[in-house]
Amino acid sequence: MFSLHKTLGGVHPPQCKDTRDCPVTSIDPPKQVRIPLNMHIGAPCKPVVAEGDHVYVGTLIGDGEGLYAPIHASVSGTVTFVGTETLPTGQTAPVVEIASDGKMEHDPAIAVPSYTTKEEFIDCVRASGMVGLGGASFPTWFKMRAPKGKEFEYLLINAMECEPFITSDFRQMLEHTERVVEGVARCARALEIPAACIGVENNKPEAQDALEAMIKEKGYEDFIEVLRVPTKYPAGGEKVVIEAATGRQVPAGGLPADVGCLVMNVTTVSMVEEFFRSGMPLVSKVLTIAGDCVANPGNYEVPIGISVHDAVEATGGLSKDPRKIIMGGPMMGRTISDIDCPILKANNAILCIEDKAILPDETPCIRCGRCVRACPLGLMPFAIDAAARAHDAVKLDEFAVMNCMECGSCAFACPAHRRITASIHEGKGIYRSEVARLTQPVKGA
């Protein structure tokens, strides 16, 4: 069904996957969680609980309309704050704070969902609160609806986990192999997609073998396949996955559905299956907590809304002061300055790093072209970088700034240590402002 296609660019950062043999362990319930109601792409949810309410694990606390994913309590206890706050990320968002009673009691109203049609299946996925758990945070139910006039031919499961340090998806594949494979089968059948593949990098042979054996055991070989992919960052970029598995290229500004593909992260599909088995919506997250400053690096299941500080402390704390704390991987993660940041649905790692945390100063571009060769999307990073620094929106458009997925391969390859990805990120803001300025209605017209 599937054969491997060559993809452009890519780099080979040190893998640092020292936690790959660390089984997932749960932490003790925290004293409180602060759950932002904007943990997804789309409109923030509105709170549906009030201060003083008692909630259980799985109780609905935020709901919405349009593009959104509902949000549920991750601990049992009492709601102590409902309001709008500026989060440590700088974003303003509605927040629900819950003081835990330490019991982690499940909501008695939770029931195993059932469906008979594709639409009912998608409605169930919406109720689960699922979003892209690989970091995208796009509401899963919304992604499952093929745009009008389009059909999904392929379900592609992104199990590449190409970011250095992170091993939570790897553990998911090893510890929940059956749930992953059944989740893929359920989604493919319910969404009427004839063929599915699970793309796994060759640095995870145990996961490739386990998944293949399970597919065979279940008798699913006629519609699910494992695609063994060479280890190269960013093999897990959505457009890169599609090209590797199908040879198709998503057009600039287009969607995977434009080339007949639905792409889901491997932990997302596993948690969708878990929801259909238990009825428990998304309330916890497995994180890789690692870096040279972490006392006990490993993979930990934590309630959503726990602070970075409490999560790290619950694992044994820090062994030394980090110079940098990153939420996510070192290539695409976000450096935070406030360790009270809550863990969100799409977070998959906390890295606390001292070693190599300070980058060398950048020097002028020497036109070596390494960034161009590294780019998986065939862009010209040095030219976008120059246009962004010159605030030149016309050139930013010409060099397709909005097509960049900010994977960081260009910056990694640059011998002049130019902060190309950060510059491109700013360039996108400049481009968006210019488009907004040019398209705003003229007063009095």
Candidate segments 26-34, 110-118, 292-300, 411-419, binder of ligand SF4 by CB under 6 A: 411-419
In three-state secondary structure terms, 31 is coil
Candidate segments 21-29, 112-120, 128-136, 372-380, binder of ligand SF4 by CB under 6 A: 372-380
Check residue 427 for interaction with ligand SF4 (CB under 6 A): no
Which residues, at least 6 apart from 24, have a Cβ–Cβ distance to it below 8 Å? 168, 171, 175, 286, 299, 300, 301
Instruction: Please count the residues of the chain.
Output: 445
Check residue 413 for interaction with ligand SF4 (CB under 6 A): yes
Q: Which is closer to ligand SF4, CB of 142 or CB of 431? A: 431
Q: Which is closer to ligand SF4, CB of 314 or CB of 410? A: 410
| C-alpha span between 359 and 370 (Å, rounded) | 18
Check residue 423 for interaction with ligand SF4 (CB under 6 A): no
Q: Which of 406, 419, 422, 428 binds ligand SF4 (CB under 6 A)?
A: 406
Q: Which is closer to ligand SF4, CB of 158 or CB of 409? A: 409
Check residue 407 for interaction with ligand SF4 (CB under 6 A): yes
Task: Tell me whether strands 46-47 and 24-26 are parallel, antiparallel or unpaired.
Answer: unpaired
User: Least Å distance between CB 417 and ligand SF4?
Assistant: 8
Check residue 408 for interaction with ligand SF4 (CB under 6 A): yes
- What are the structure tokens assigned to 257, written together? 């559905």
Angstrom distances, CA of residue 389 to CA of 361, 422, 435: 17, 11, 18
Secondary-structure breakdown of the chain: helix, strand, coil percentages, each rounded to the nearest 5: 30, 20, 50
Q: What does DSSP assign to residue 27? A: P
Check residue 365 for interaction with ligand SF4 (CB under 6 A): yes
Check residue 431 for interaction with ligand SF4 (CB under 6 A): no
User: Least Å distance between CB 365 and ligand SF4?
Assistant: 3
User: Least Å distance between CB 145 and ligand SF4?
Assistant: 27
User: Least Å distance between CB 214 and ligand SF4?
Assistant: 34
Candidate segments 270-278, 299-307, 419-427, 436-444, binder of ligand SF4 by CB under 6 A: 419-427
Q: Which of 304, 409, 423, 430 binds ligand SF4 (CB under 6 A)?
A: 409
Q: Name the burial class of residue 419, with classes exposed (0-12), middle (13-18) and buried (19+) by CB atoms within 10 angstroms of its CB.
A: middle
| C-alpha span between 159 and 349 (Å, rounded) | 16
Candidate segments 50-58, 108-116, 125-133, 412-420, binder of ligand SF4 by CB under 6 A: 412-420
- What are the structure tokens assigned to 101, written together? 């009673």
Q: Which is closer to ligand SF4, CB of 53 or CB of 161? A: 161
* End-to-end C-alpha distance for the chain, whole angstroms: 57
Q: Which of 56, 165, 382, 399 binds ligand SF4 (CB under 6 A)?
A: 382
Candidate segments 107-115, 187-195, 202-210, 369-377, binder of ligand SF4 by CB under 6 A: 369-377
Q: Which is closer to ligand SF4, CB of 84 or CB of 363? A: 363
Check residue 164 for interaction with ligand SF4 (CB under 6 A): no
Check residue 330 for interaction with ligand SF4 (CB under 6 A): no
| C-alpha span between 114 and 437 (Å, rounded) | 48
Q: Which is closer to ligand SF4, CB of 95 or CB of 332? A: 332
Check residue 347 for interaction with ligand SF4 (CB under 6 A): no
Q: DSSP letters along 244-271, please?
A: HHH---PPTT--GGGGTEEEEEHHHHHH
E strand spans, 134-255:
154-158, 195-201, 224-229
Q: DSSP letters along 32-66, please?
A: EEEEES--SSSSPPEE---TT-EE-BT-EEEE-SS
Binding site for ligand SF4 (CB under 6 A): 365-371, 374-375, 377, 379, 381-382, 404-410, 413-416, 418, 420-421, 424
